[in-house]
Homo-oligomer: A and B are copies of this chain.
Amino acid sequence: MKESTGLGIVETKSAVLFSPPRERTLEGGEKAGPVTIAYETYGRLNPAGSNAVLIAHALSGNAHAAGFHEGDAKPGWWDNMIGPGKAFDTDRYYVVCSNVLGGCAGSTGPASLDPRTGEPFGTEFPLVGINDMVDCQKELCDFLGIGKLLCVTGGSMGGMQALSWLTRYPGRVRSGIPIATTMRHSPQQIAFSEIGRQAIMSDPNWNNGRYYGKKPPAKGLSLARMIGHITYMSDESMRSKFGRGRKFETQASKLVSDFLVEGYLRYKGEGFLKRFDANSYLYLLRALDDFDATNGRPATEVFAGLEAKILVIAFESDWLYPIWQSKEIVRAAESAGVDVRYCEIPSTYGHDAFLLEAEEQTPVIRRFLEEVSGTDQVI
């Protein structure tokens, strides 16, 4: 592997898709269009258009997956995995990442202006499903001149998008790498979403989604994010990071304890307010819960006839998307005769491992992509 130098400065661009008369009917039955989709690309598309890798982001992610924005101290959210010589090697592959429909980082979402009223959509925004996010990505691929994706990948909600691609557009993908994800939410996962929803909707500032230009439901969103963080870490990673350590500061109330882990969660919850919209959070939670890659079919039929190869990656200590759910994907693919590999990584980081375990994931993914691209002239 060559020494990584990173991508340097990158930029978010945007594309307007589904303009009239090409409006799209969404999964929930409502219409959308035109929609703006924010995206970034790294590397170059080869003349054959055969070296494109689509990265799908998780709940709180965005199009800025790698490299630095001008003036930023921190790179994109998967910079340890995307770049020259990295897992998704931009010397070989053309990497695309877009912000999901319903998001709040450049793509059309509940905070966008409703052209009918000139006001932000709020809860008038149509319900969006994982499949709708994918359909925007497919439209974006057309726009970028990508015929068939070499690979579609992502962790968590990103993994669901990979599964949606594989099951709904098998002719448009040569491979998929669903990471730390599931074919559908279990009731425990729905329950955690519901807590997040209730936290936001119980905040009086939420005001049925009409808070734009006023005080946003900061406490509710921050609380929802804190809950998320607990589920992203493992019991063990919390122990090694915080133990029962305390910080000895003056406390706001004697009822508030001062354990380090509490300070960390509050800090994470508050930091989230700067970059996320509460209504988007609600829409995306709903999309996560509603997603079902089986679409009511028996597991054995989910990947029937699929020619794309699949690499499923799961992490031992991930209790939010436990390994049995990844194994379920593998079984479904195996039973359909799909070329599927399973890689279980013994990380202690919990669900966050897909963002952190670059060293473990890199050789597995590089090898898989090399095999999929085969004798292709990738660049």
Contacts and interface: CB of A to CB of B under 8 A. Distances in A.
A188 B235 contact: yes
B190 A257 contact: yes
A314 interface: no
Contacts of A193: 257
Interface stretch (A12-20, A36-44, A71-79, A238-246): A238-246
A190 B261 CA distance: 7
B257 A290 contact: yes
Contacts of A226: 191, 194-195, 198
Contacts of A256: 197, 201
Give the contact-size bracket for chain A: 35 or more
Interface in A148-191: 184-188, 190-191
A187 B255 CA distance: 17
Contacts of A192: 230
A287 to B, nearest CB: 10
Interface of A: 28, 123, 127, 184-188, 190-195, 197-199, 201-204, 208-209, 219-220, 223, 226-227, 229-230, 233-235, 238-239, 241-244, 253-257, 259-262, 265-266, 282-283, 286, 289-290, 292, 319, 322
5 contacts: A185-B244, A188-B230, A209-B255, A235-B322, A257-B286
